[in-house]
């Protein structure tokens, strides 16, 4: 009899608590769906921002080529990068290139630095950080010698927090409309360098992809292996 009473009590509790438990489960699912929707909307906005920034490069690359070929910009047009835009510096030892990196590939930012495209991943994080610079006609300036980079070369990006080292794993020339170079990466920390190609024309894009070397020891090991020691 006591066992039967216990069963009745438990059954009563289950019946009494069911609506509350059910509401809790529904609220959790609703919150999950809303968070997922918000994440999707944020991702779509970032992708739209990235595509717009990439497409605007063509006009800026073309205008820069015209200036370099004799249509010089006035001093008023050559302004410092926007305040607060400086992210760090980028160095490619193999081609003796070093330059500042700023946030936002605006026309006047690209006159004085390489620029991280808005909407792409932050430097040093998982994803694809796209950095553009002009293919200056001055030897060694900006990405003038980027075509000399080879597979296995390193890209060093120094921020106030840390120096990140990337190893080049892919080099290609694409149409300006090829957005695949901006594909997001959910696993690796990738940097993508972008400039016009060939020099003087800007009809295509020279793309350099690098993946982060996770430690200085790993970088040294790979450098030694490449050297054949």
Q: What are phi and psi of 57, to 5 degrees?
A: -60, -35
Cα-only R_g, the chain: 26
Task: Determine contact, residues 207/196, Cβ cutoff 8 Å.
Answer: no
Q: Would residue 108 show up in a list of annotated catalytic residues for this protein?
A: no
Beta bridge partners of 164: 157
* Helix (H) and strand (E) counts in the chain: 3, 8
**Residue 67, Cβ density class (10 Å: 0-12 exposed, 13-18 middle, ≥19 buried):** middle
> Among 137, 156, 196, 209, which one carries the catalytic annotation?
196
Q: What secondary structure does DSSP assign to 19-67, as a single string?
A: HHHHHHHHHHHHHHHHHHHHHHHHHHHHHHHHHHHHHHHHHHHHHHHHH
Task: Determine contact, residues 53/194, Cβ cutoff 8 Å.
Answer: no
> Among 108, 134, 204, 209, which one carries the catalytic annotation?
134
Q: Report, as residue numbers or ranges, the catalytic residues.
A: 134, 196
């Amino acid at each position: 009899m006591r066992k039967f009473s216990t069963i009745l009590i438990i059954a009563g509790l289950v019946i009494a608590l069911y609506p509350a438990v059910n509401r809790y489960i529904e609220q959790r699912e609703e919150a999950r769906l809303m968070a997922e929707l918000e994440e999707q909307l944020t991702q779509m906005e970032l992708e739209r921002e990235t595509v717009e920034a990439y497409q605007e490069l063509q006009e800026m690359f073309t205008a820069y080529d015209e200036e370099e070929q004799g249509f010089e910009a006035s001093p008023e047009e050559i302004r410092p990068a926007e305040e607060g835009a400086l992210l760090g510096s980028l160095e490619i030892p193999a081609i003796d290139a070093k330059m500042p990196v700023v946030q936002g590939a605006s026309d006047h930012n690209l006159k004085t630095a390489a620029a991280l495209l808005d909407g792409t991943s932050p430097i040093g994080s998982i994803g694809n950080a796209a950095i553009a610079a002009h293919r200056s006609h001055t030897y060694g300036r900006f990405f003038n010698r980027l075509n000399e980079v080879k597979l296995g070369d390193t890209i060093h990006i120094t921020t106030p927090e840390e120096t990140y080292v990337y190893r080049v794993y892919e080099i290609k020339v694409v149409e300006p409309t090829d957005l695949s170079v901006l594909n997001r990466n959910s696993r690796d920390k990738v940097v993508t360098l972008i400039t016009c190609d060939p020099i003087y024309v800007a009809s295509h894009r020279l793309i350099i992809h690098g993946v982060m070397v996770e430690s200085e020891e790993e970088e040294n090991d790979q450098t030694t292996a490449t050297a054949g020691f």
